């Protein structure tokens, strides 16, 4: 295969996984809105209490472990050692099976203690149902890693789409059925956990079929070389965990909320039911933040594989250029999404969740889109240049800070304290990771055009606020929906034109983006006054 073909295959795979990740995030956000409408704020609270645990299992099966396994398999395939590649795949499955069993036992047996920590003993069954997701993780992660090690990302992409699609359909179907049958929020939460597991099972079955069809699989037990097994275990667990920590930042922030908010709101003076309802309303912000973050990072993170390649080739100039562009894209889109969502939060809240409860809190929480986007992009760059350990360390600092601030602020100022803790925690991660990127590759010379970007976002927000002022959105949910969608559309159009007119991105930067040639032509025409 020629180098050009390799390059095309590399980019095709990177773009395919980016597109699938974007699809999964949008679907993940989309189903939570009807779920909240079906089950109410208490039902949404129950789901959000157990969601972080399921999400941890899925992230382990999607990001860190498959990436490490693919590296180990690819190393052997580069030496034409197919037998060793098969052995690594088998050993990886054994290692992850032990890890998955440990996760299952820990969560299932520890569900009572966790429910007590969350100040809600009725979460016991939903938590125990969620524990079964850790039994699915080993097979999914090891097979994905095997295929990716053979430079085949199609099975990974299809399994991700299958998992999310089946999961969403199962959750909504079970929820509607249980609500119509008169079951309460906690039984519906257990049903949602079962629906999530059905999605994982569907993905695992698909991967197993593709694995068996693709190559003869040795089903009979084989002797284990203990030294090689321990070597594979060490690399899979250490490197995989380092990669996973950065991917888990947002989920672990949600986990800190699940563990601390209800009890802290009780200290603040709310009754038990008020605390749970408030937590359920606060959780409305999570899907909105995820949408903003994925919009900001989908383009920037698609550049990160190039950074990894440039690092292997020791091309310092290319690393600096691509890292700078990734962070610039993340900053511009993250800032735009954060400010834009804050401007339309009242009407968006009504449109999606029927009322405008805690809109001011959620508007402030929207600021975290900017910092989460920058943190995730910078962490990806650090992994690309071989500094995954630093990225994991800074993520850990941010998570611990979030937990500490929740415990201190929520009993003092209520649910606003959780929003402040999220923003400060993510801002800390973003600053630390960006400084680490700068110290490694140097960013000071890159033309970020921060002043022009802020000006463009200011123009956008002014246009959105003007539209919101003139549009009668308070009449009904329908008018609120038109106001939210109209504000988003106007904001996007005004932002796009402002970015082009103010030349926030250079011609060289624009052509590197999807459909960049067309945007470049438009920018040139506007510059000439055509």
For helices 133-149 and 124-131, the axis angle rounded to 10 degrees is 30
* Tokens 């970007």 sit on residue: 453
Contacts of 475-479 with CB under 8 Å at 24 or more apart are: 477/350, 477/351, 477/354
Question: What pTM was estimated for this model as a whole?
Answer: 0.86
Spatial CB neighbours of 478, under 8 Å, sequence gap ≥ 6: none
CA distance 406 to 153: 40
* Tokens 């990740």 sit on residue: 21
Collapsing DSSP states into helix, strand and coil, what is residue 96?
Answer: helix
Tell me which residue of 395, 474, 381, 463 sits closest to 432, measured CA to CA. Answer: 395
CA distance 306 to 292: 24
User: pLDDT tens, position by position, for the chain (530 residues)?
Assistant: 444 444 444 445 555 666 666 677 677 777 888 898 999 899 999 999 999 999 898 888 877 788 888 888 887 877 777 888 888 888 889 999 999 999 999 999 999 999 999 999 999 999 999 999 999 999 999 888 888 887 777 888 888 888 988 999 999 999 999 999 999 999 999 999 999 999 999 999 999 988 887 665 554 456 777 888 888 889 888 888 887 877 788 889 999 999 999 999 999 999 999 999 999 999 999 888 887 777 667 665 566 667 777 777 778 888 888 888 889 988 999 999 999 999 999 999 999 888 889 999 999 999 999 999 999 889 888 887 888 888 889 999 999 999 999 999 999 999 999 999 999 999 999 999 999 998 888 877 788 888 999 999 999 999 999 998 888 776 678 888 888 999 999 999 999 899 888 888 877 777 766 666 666 676 666 666 55
CA distance 29 to 46: 16
At 303, give phi and psi (nearest 5°): -85, -20
At 374, list the tokens. 């920058």
- The residue ranges of every structural domain in the chain are 1-247, 248-446
* Tokens 């000439």 sit on residue: 528
At 281, list the tokens. 């309303």
Q: How far is CA 412 from CA 260, 261, 416, in A?
A: 13, 12, 10
At 444, list the tokens. 């000071």
For helices 285-301 and 316-343, the axis angle rounded to 10 degrees is 150
* Tokens 């993250």 sit on residue: 334
| DSSP string for residues in 138-181 | HHHHHHHHHHHHTT--HHHHHHHHHHHHHHHHHHHHHHHHHHHT
CA distance 530 to 527: 8
Neighbours of 195 (CB within 10 A): 21
Q: Residues 143, 149, 154, CA angle at the centre, nearest 5°?
A: 65
At 254, list the tokens. 């949600």
CB 387 within 8 A of CB 436: yes
Q: How far is CA 88 from CA 77, 206, 287, 357, 376, in A?
A: 11, 21, 37, 52, 30
CB 284 within 8 A of CB 353: yes
CB 392 within 8 A of CB 245: yes
Collapsing DSSP states into helix, strand and coil, what is residue 211?
Answer: helix
DSSP 446: S
Residue 21 CA neighbour count, 13 Å, CB half? 21
CB 263 within 8 A of CB 119: yes
CA distance 313 to 319: 10
Neighbours of 319 (CB within 10 A): 24
Chain centroid to CA 228: how far? Answer: 34
Tell me which residue of 163, 259, 251, 262 sits closest to 204, measured CA to CA. Answer: 163
Tell me which residue of 169, 183, 164 sits closest to 40, measured CA to CA. Answer: 183
């Amino acid at each position: 295969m020629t180098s050009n073909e390799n390059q095309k295959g590399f980019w095709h795979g990177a773009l395919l996984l980016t597109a699938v990740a974007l699809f999964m995030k949008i679907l993940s956000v989309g189903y939570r809105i009807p779920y909240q409408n079906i089950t109410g704020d208490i039902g949404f609270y129950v789901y959000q209490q157990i969601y972080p645990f399921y999400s941890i299992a899925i992230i382990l099966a999607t990001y860190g472990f498959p990436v490490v396994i693919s590296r180990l398999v690819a190393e052997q395939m580069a030496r034409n050692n197919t037998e060793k590649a098969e052995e690594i795949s088998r050993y990886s499955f054994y290692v992850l099976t032990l890890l998955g069993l440990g996760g299952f036992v820990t969560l299932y047996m520890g569900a009572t203690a966790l429910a007590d920590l969350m100040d809600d003993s009725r979460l016991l069954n939903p938590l125990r149902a969620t524990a079964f997701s850790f039994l699915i993780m080993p097979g999914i992660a090891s097979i994905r890693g095997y295929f990716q090690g053979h430079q085949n990302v199609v099975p990974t992409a299809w399994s991700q789409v299958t998992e999310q699609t089946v999961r969403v359909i199962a959750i909504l179907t079970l929820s509607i059925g249980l609500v119509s049958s008169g079951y309460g929020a906690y039984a519906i939460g257990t049903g949602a956990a079962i629906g999530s597991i059905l999605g994982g099972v569907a993905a695992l079955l698909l991967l197993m079929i593709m694995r068996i069809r693709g190559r003869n699989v040795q089903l009979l037990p084989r002797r284990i070389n203990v030294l090689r097994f321990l070597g594979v275990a060490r690399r899979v667990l250490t490197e995989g965990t380092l990669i996973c920590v950065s991917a888990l930042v947002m989920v672990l922030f949600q986990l800190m909320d699940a563990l601390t908010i209800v009890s802290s709101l009780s200290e603040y003076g709310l009754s038990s039911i008020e605390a749970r309802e408030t937590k359920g309303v606060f959780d409305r912000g999570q899907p909105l933040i995820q949408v903003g973050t994925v919009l900001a990072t989908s383009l920037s993170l698609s550049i990160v594989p190039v950074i990894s390649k440039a690092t292997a080739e020791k091309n310092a100039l290319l690393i600096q250029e691509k890292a700078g562009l990734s962070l610039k894209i993340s900053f511009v889109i993250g800032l735009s999404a954060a400010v834009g969502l804050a401007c339309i939060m009242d009407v968006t809240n009504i449109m999606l969740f029927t009322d405008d409860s805690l809109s001011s809190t959620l508007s402030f929480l929207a600021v975290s889109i900017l910092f989460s986007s920058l943190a995730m992009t910078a962490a990806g760059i650090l992994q690309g240049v071989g500094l995954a350990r630093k990225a994991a360390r800074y993520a850990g600092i941010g998570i611990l800070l979030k937990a500490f601030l929740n415990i201190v602020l929520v009993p003092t100022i209520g649910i606003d304290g959780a929003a402040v803790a999220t923003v400060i925690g993510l801002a800390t991660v973003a600053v630390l990771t960006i400084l680490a990127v700068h110290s490694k590759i140097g960013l000071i010379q890159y033309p970020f055009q921060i002043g022009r970007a802020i000006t463009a976002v200011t123009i956008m927000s002014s246009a959105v606020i003007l539209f919101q002022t003139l549009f009668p959105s308070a009449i009904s949910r329908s008018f609120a929906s038109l106001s939210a969608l109209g504000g988003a559309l106007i904001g996007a159009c005004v932002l796009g034109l402002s970015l082009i007119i103010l030349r926030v991105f250079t011609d060289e930067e624009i052509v590197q983006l999807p459909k960049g040639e067309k945007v470049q032509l438009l920018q040139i025409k506007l510059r000439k006054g055509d």
